[in-house]
Chains A and B, each alone.
Chain A
Amino acid sequence: MRDRNGKLNKILIIVLIIFYAVPFYILTTTSLKKDMDVSSKWKMPSYLYLNSFTNAWSKANLGHAFLNNIIILVISMTALIILGSLAAYPLARNKSRLNKFMYYLFVSAMIVPPLSILVPLYQFYSRIHAMNTFWGITLIHLTFQLPLTIFLYTGFIGTIPRELDEAALIDGCSRFGLFFKILFPLLKPVTATITIVTGVNIWNDYQFSLFFLQKSQVQTITVTLSRFFGEHANYVSWVAAGSLLGSIPMIIIYLFLQKYFISGLSSGAVKG
Chain B
Amino acid sequence: MSEKYIHKKTLKDKLNSPGMLNILYVPVLILFGTFLIYPFFKGIQVSFTNWDGYSQIFKYVGFQNYKQMFADSDIVTVIYNTIVYGVGSTLFQNIFGLAFALLLCRQTKLNAVGRTFVYLPAIISPLIMGYIWYFIFQYDGGALNDIIKLFSGSQTNLLASTKANVWIITGINSFQFVGVSMVIYLAGLQNIPHDYYEAAEIDGASYWQRFLNITVPMLAPSITVAVVLNLIGGLKLFDVIWSLTNGGPGYSSCSLSTMMYQLYFAKQEAGLAASLGILMFVIITIVSVIALAGFRKREISQ
Q: With A116-B40, A225-B127 in contact, do A261 and B183 touch (Cβ < 8 Å)? A: yes
Interface assignment of B79: CB less than 8 Å from any CB of chain A: no
Q: B124 contacts A243, CB within 8 Å?
A: yes
Q: A90 contacts B18, CB within 8 Å?
A: yes
| Complex-state Cα separation, A102 to B26, whole angstroms | 10
Among A94, A113, A155, A236, chain B packs the most CB atoms within 10 A around the CB of A113
Q: A251 contacts B123, CB within 8 Å?
A: yes
| Complex-state Cα separation, A247 to B129, whole angstroms | 10
List which A115-153 residues lie within 8 A (CB) of chain B.
Answer: 115-117, 119-121, 124, 139-140, 142-143, 146, 148, 150-152
Interface assignment of A232: CB less than 8 Å from any CB of chain B: no
User: Contacting B129 at CB < 8 Å: which of A23, A111, A148, A229?
Assistant: A23
Q: A13 contacts B187, CB within 8 Å?
A: no
Interface assignment of A106: CB less than 8 Å from any CB of chain B: yes
List which A90-116 residues lie within 8 A (CB) of chain B.
Answer: 90-91, 93-94, 96, 98-99, 102, 104-113, 115-116
User: Contacting A106 at CB < 8 Å: which of B19, B28, B100?
Assistant: B28
Q: A102 contacts B281, CB within 8 Å?
A: no
Q: B221 contacts A159, CB within 8 Å?
A: yes
Identify the closest chain A residue to B274 (Cβ). A116
Q: B127 contacts A117, CB within 8 Å?
A: no
Which A residues are in CB contact (< 8 Å) with B125? Answer: 203-204, 206, 221-222, 225, 243, 246-247
Q: A266 contacts B183, CB within 8 Å?
A: no
Q: With A102-B25, A175-B20 in contact, do A267 and B190 touch (Cβ < 8 Å)? A: yes
| Complex-state Cα separation, A143 to B195, whole angstroms | 41
Identify the closest chain A residue to B17 (Cβ). A175
Contact bitstring B107-134, A, C-beta under 8 A = 1, else 0: 1001111111111111111111101110
Which A residues are in CB contact (< 8 Å) with B193? Answer: 267, 270-271
Interface assignment of A234: CB less than 8 Å from any CB of chain B: no
| Complex-state Cα separation, A111 to B105, whole angstroms | 31
Which B residues are in CB contact (< 8 Å) with A148? Answer: 229
Q: B221 contacts A158, CB within 8 Å?
A: yes
| Complex-state Cα separation, A222 to B149, whole angstroms | 34
- Once A and B bind, how many residue pairs between them come within 8 Å at the CB atom? 260
Q: Which of A24-32, A44-52, A58-66, A70-78 contacts B (4 or more CB under 8 A)?
A: A24-32
Q: A94 contacts B114, CB within 8 Å?
A: no
Identify the closest chain A residue to B118 (Cβ). A20
| Complex-state Cα separation, A38 to B146, whole angstroms | 12
Q: Is the interface of B mostly helix, strand, loop or mixed?
A: helix
Q: A109 contacts B261, CB within 8 Å?
A: no
Interface assignment of B284: CB less than 8 Å from any CB of chain A: yes
Among A20, A94, A108, A189, chain B packs the most CB atoms within 10 A around the CB of A20
Which A residues are in CB contact (< 8 Å) with B171? Answer: none
Identify the closest chain A residue to B261 (Cβ). A115
Identify the closest chain B residue to A157 (Cβ). B221
Which B residues are in CB contact (< 8 Å) with A151? Answer: 225, 228-229
| Complex-state Cα separation, A40 to B213, whole angstroms | 50
Interface assignment of A192: CB less than 8 Å from any CB of chain B: yes
- Besides the contacts A86-B25, A115-B273, A117-B43, what 11 more A-B pairs have beta carbons closer than 8 Å? A10-B110, A17-B114, A40-B146, A102-B29, A107-B288, A112-B281, A116-B39, A175-B16, A222-B125, A240-B135, A243-B128
By a beta-carbon cutoff of 8 Å, the part of chain B in contact with chain A is 15-22, 24-25, 27-29, 31-32, 35-36, 38-40, 42-43, 53, 100, 103-105, 107, 110-129, 131-133, 135-136, 141-143, 146-147, 180, 183-184, 186-187, 190-195, 221-222, 224-225, 228-229, 232, 236, 239, 257, 260-261, 264, 270, 273-274, 277, 280-281, 284-285, 288-289, 292, 299
By a beta-carbon cutoff of 8 Å, the part of chain A in contact with chain B is 9-10, 12-14, 16-17, 20-24, 26-27, 30, 38, 40-42, 83-84, 86-91, 93-94, 96, 98-99, 102, 104-113, 115-117, 119-121, 124, 139-140, 142-143, 146, 148, 150-152, 155-156, 158-159, 169, 174-176, 189-190, 192-193, 196-197, 200, 203-204, 206, 221-222, 225-226, 229, 236, 239-240, 243, 246-247, 250-251, 254-255, 258, 261-264, 266-267, 270-271
The 5 A-B residue pairs with the shortest CB-CB distance in the complex, in nearest-first order: A120-B39, A87-B25, A117-B39, A90-B21, A204-B125
